[in-house]
Amino acid sequence: MESKSRRSFLTRVIGGVLGLGFVSTAWPYVRSLFPNVLYEPPQRFKAGPPGNFSEGTTFLEDRRVFIFRKGNTFHAISGVCTHLGCTVKFAPYQKPKKRTVRGLTYEAKGEFHCPCHGSKFYDEGTNFAGPAPRPLSWHPLEISPEDGQLVVDLSKEVSRDYRLVV
């Protein structure tokens, strides 16, 4: 009688171990039938009325984009480092400096610094230090005809001389 119960116990243990092995082997295949879906925010969004943006730089943290305002002109520069995608920080100068980039001389108000790997960009987005392979992207702005808000389109890029005049 004792050997029957021992035999049934060992049969159940071996069956459980084999079953567990089968489930752990099959689980990744079953899980792959149901892919993860990550919903990203729309690439085109309303940033707010132009009057809400003060002179200088405004960073929209949830969208990782900088909106620059000078008088009645606006432009948008990506806050995503072109090296590995970290969020850059804008470091304003104590006083403006004369810069010549791509043959154009202008008054620079600050620099972008990437905290991850030390890339640096002039305030118009051109990379000048660190491992970043490309300049920061410029994105188009427009005014929404419905409510007059600034609309940023992160899915498109524009040239560095682009300005929206309001």
Answer yes or no: do 33 and 48 share one domain. Answer: no
**CATH number for the domain that contains residue 48:** 2.102.10.10
Answer yes or no: do 66 and 129 share one domain. Answer: yes
Answer yes or no: do 52 and 100 share one domain. Answer: yes
Tens of pLDDT, residue by residue over 65-90, are: 999 999 999 999 999 999 999 999 99
Answer yes or no: do 32 and 69 share one domain. Answer: no
What local confidence, expressed as pLDDT, does residue 2 receive?
Answer: 58
Q: What's the chain's Rg over C-alpha atoms?
A: 28
Domain range for residue 32? 1-39
Q: Which residues of 115-129 are buried (b: 16+ CB within 10 A; e: fewer)?
A: eeeebbbbbbbbbee
Answer yes or no: do 32 and 89 share one domain. Answer: no
Q: Tally the domains of the chain.
A: 2
Answer yes or no: do 55 and 96 share one domain. Answer: yes
pTM of the full structure: 0.74
CB 125 within 8 A of CB 112: yes
Answer yes or no: do 35 and 57 share one domain. Answer: no
Answer yes or no: do 22 and 50 share one domain. Answer: no
User: pLDDT tens string for the chain (166 positions)?
Assistant: 456 788 888 889 999 999 999 999 999 888 888 888 877 888 999 999 999 999 989 999 999 999 999 999 999 999 999 999 999 999 988 888 888 777 777 788 889 999 999 999 988 888 989 999 999 999 999 999 999 999 999 999 999 889 999 8
Name, in order, each residue with C-beta under 8 angstroms of 122's C-beta and a sequence gap of 6 or more: 99, 101, 108, 111, 112, 128
Distance (Å, whole) CA 119 – CA 88: 9
* Length of the chain measured in residues: 166
Answer yes or no: do 131 and 149 share one domain. Answer: yes
Answer yes or no: do 99 and 22 share one domain. Answer: no
Answer yes or no: do 68 and 144 share one domain. Answer: yes
Tens of pLDDT, residue by residue over 115-129, are: 999 999 988 888 989
Q: Which amino acid is at 147?
A: D
Average pLDDT, the chain: 90
Collapsing DSSP to helix, strand or coil, 2 comes out as: helix
Answer yes or no: do 127 and 154 share one domain. Answer: yes
